Amino acid sequence: MTLEQLILSAATALGNPGFQYTRDKTCDMVLANGLQIVIEPSRTEEAVHIYAVVGNLPAFDRENVAESLLRAQLFHREMGEGCCFGLDDDTDELLLNRKLTTQNLDEAGFLAVLNEFANWATYWRDKLQSPPVAAPASTSPVGDFGMLRA
């Protein structure tokens, strides 16, 4: 199937969310909850980039936000398989993104990936919009590496 066929099939299955193609075959899809997902074909291989803006990097407390994102990303603990965060250089927008190989991809597989991605993007958009909660103080001393001693 072509990427366009996969997208049209997914749009129908998702209740025809608003979507629009641009000249470079990028598709902007707006879901019922207001989340905008961009689906962009890779220029170099049979793959597609799926991404969504989930928030902005704040002017203050950047270290804590970055730490939270890195912890969530480790082993995909708080995000979908194959997803990662990125930061737009021009806008300081935080993006959740995923690269997906389209070779041998069927409608059901594409829809499953799109659904999972939309759920995680919504989760992060909502989490980043809520006020930060102070992290509890660590109970173990930084220099205590008893397990590594010979």
Each residue's pLDDT tens digit, 48-91: 999 999 999 888 888 898 898 999 988 888 888 899 999 999 99
Provide the CATH number for the domain around residue 81.
3.30.1460.10
Domain of residue 19: give its range: 3-129
The answer to whether 66 touches 25, Cβ cutoff 8 Å, is: no
Percent residues over pLDDT 70 in the chain: 84
Q: Which two tokens stand for residue 91?
A: 């806008």
- Domain presence at residue 119: yes
d(CA 52, CA 37): 5
Highest-confidence segment of 3-12, 53-62, 126-135, 138-147: 53-62
- Domain presence at residue 141: no
- Domain presence at residue 146: no
- Domain presence at residue 136: no
pTM for the complete prediction?
A: 0.80
- pLDDT for 23 equals 66
- Domain presence at residue 104: yes
pLDDT tens for residues 2-31?
888 888 888 888 776 677 777 677 888 888
The mean pLDDT value for 90-107 works out to 92
- Domain presence at residue 74: yes
- pLDDT for 132 equals 56
- The strand pair at 36-41 and 27-30 is best described as antiparallel
Which residue's structure tokens are 């207001």? 34
- Domain presence at residue 114: yes
Number of domains in the chain: 1
- Domain presence at residue 142: no
